[in-house]
A and B are shown apart, each in its own frame.
Chain A
Amino acid sequence: MFRRVLGNTLGFVGYTVQYGCIAHCAFEYIGEFVVCSGPSMEPTIVNHDIIFSERMSRHLCKIQKGDIVIAKSSFDPNMNICKRVIGLEGDKVCTSSPSDVFKTHTYVPKGHVWLEGDNLRNSTDSRSYGPIPYALIRGRVCLKLWPPHSFGTLSESPTRRIIKAQRDSD
């Protein structure tokens, strides 16, 4: 009788470990669900939206300009930020605001990305803390799941901040 209980317990523990590991692999390599908060990505993503971010693009280093990404905050690694990629390494980005008379530019260093929120007026992003290392990116947002009336893929950048280089094809 004791042996049966022990057998059942070990079986239970074994299944828990196995399914826990499968869950880890799914969240780490396939994708995860994220609840967004804050106004920095309006109107594309608003407060309390639920989105799905996929991990494969980040592991294969296929994140592109214009993608919305989830990244670890460089000042607090336990916090995540959701912003749009405006420039990849080597790209030219505009550091002055649209209202400035003289426009200033900078080039994104190797291994870094330049992130900006879609709501330029209410977003702390690379314009204040500079480019962030590519390795801090966790995943690429590909689908919005909630609220139901805005279900689907996300739109292109409403701000015209992405500078297309001569070599980019349109």
Chain B
Amino acid sequence: MAATAGWRYVRAFVSGLFVAVPVTVTVLDRFAYVARVEGASMQPSLNPDSGSECDVVLLNRWSVRNYEVRRGDIVSVMSPRNPQQKIIKRVIGLEGDFIRTLSYKNRYVRVPDGHFWIEGDHHGHSLDSNSFGPVSVGLLHGRASHIIWPPNRWQEIKPSLPPHRGPLAPEEEEG
């Protein structure tokens, strides 16, 4: 009697797993992902106090399924230096924009087709396009939409370009 009850439980558990694991994996791959932000490269927007806990952000993967981003979005990107690592930075320029770079080998860069220019808010403490150049849009992973931990930092992340960091307007290059 106990053997059949135990066996029924095992079968129910395994069939439950057959539902839960693919659904969870699909949701994490296509809809939303939760990630802890480490490092100080996005201060003061993310991780403003180096001593206390790291921020946890909600990454919206559905909104980037067609690789559409706006300038000023905070996005997570697969690192061009390390394929197993994801980096979280702000989009400064899209394809076709002219960017005045901070520490890149060229002073002015035109972002090629299918690429974008990302920078961390904490210049100098950030490994971003100023080190490895424009990043291919195919590496886009997700858009950070909300900070969900710690609770006193619950907020929606709104796209905003830092002051003086943005694409150059066409008239400005003449000078």
Contact = CB atoms under 8 A, between A and B. Distances in A.
Nearest to B66: A78
A164 interface: no
Pick the most buried of A74, A76, A112, A134: most chain B CB atoms within 10 A of its CB: A74
Interface residues of B, number: 27
Interface string B48-61: 00000000000000
> Taking chain B's interface residues, is the majority helix, strand, or loop, or is none over half, making it mixed?
mixed
Interface string A2-46: 000000000000000110111011001100000000000000000
A82 B96 CA distance: 26
Given A24-B30, A77-B137, A135 B23 contact: no
A14 to B, nearest CB: 9
Interface in A35-89: 61, 72-78
Contact of A24 (B26, B113, B136): B26
A126 B124 CA distance: 31
A72 B138 contact: yes
Instruction: Using C-beta atoms within 8 Å of the partner chain, give the interface range for chain A.
Output: 20 to 34
Nearest to B29: A28
A38 B83 CA distance: 28
A24 B112 contact: no
Interface of B: 18-19, 21-23, 25-26, 29-30, 66-67, 78-84, 112-115, 136-140
Interface of A: 17-18, 20-22, 24-25, 28-29, 61, 72-78, 110-112, 132-136
11 contacts: A20-B26, A24-B22, A24-B30, A28-B25, A61-B83, A75-B112, A75-B136, A76-B114, A110-B82, A133-B78, A135-B79
